[in-house]
Amino acid sequence: MTFVEKRQAQIQRHHLAGEVKAHLTTFERDLGRALASGSKLLGFLPEAREQASVSETVGQQAIGRLVASIAFVSQAMEQAAGGHVELDGIRRDLRIPETAGGDKIPLRVFGELAAQDGATAAVG
């Protein structure tokens, strides 16, 4: 493979990585919107039932099913995040530069560091 062919392959990979990133971002945002809209619906149903002056048992099975669907959306979000991590590993393996960054320090570690800084500040 010539240098030019290698460079063309590299450019093609970078282009495709950008497309994957765009689709992944859309997918993750759609899951977030599904979770938010489903939660709003669940929050509204008891109020709607009260305003309609119907028994507390009316629609309870539907609410249970909607709660289960919210749990599935949450699980899908977790799986998508795992897929995101896997794709990031592939990006690194292919030496494609990072175009956007998430949390560089995992939040639990950041919290531990903040707690240590607070303890240090209290001592100092």
Residue 109: inside a domain? no
In this structure, what are the phi and psi dihedrals at residue 76, rounded to the nearest 5 degrees? -65, -40
Q: Would you state the pLDDT for residue 91?
A: 92
Q: Would you state the pLDDT for residue 98?
A: 82
In this structure, what are the phi and psi dihedrals at residue 120, rounded to the nearest 5 degrees? -65, -40
Count of residues for the chain? Answer: 124
Residue 37: inside a domain? yes
Residue 122: inside a domain? no
- Amino acid code (one letter) for 112: E
pLDDT for 44-84, tens place per residue? 999 999 999 999 999 999 999 999 999 999 999 999 999 99
pTM equals: 0.73
pLDDT at 121 over 60: no
Q: Which domain holds residue 58?
A: 3-99
Q: Would you state the pLDDT for residue 15?
A: 94
Residues 34/73, Cβ–Cβ less than 8 Å: yes
Question: Confidence class of residue 103 from pLDDT cuts 50, 70 and 90?
Answer: low
Residue 121: inside a domain? no
Residue 123: inside a domain? no
Residue 24: inside a domain? yes
Give the chain's domain count: 1
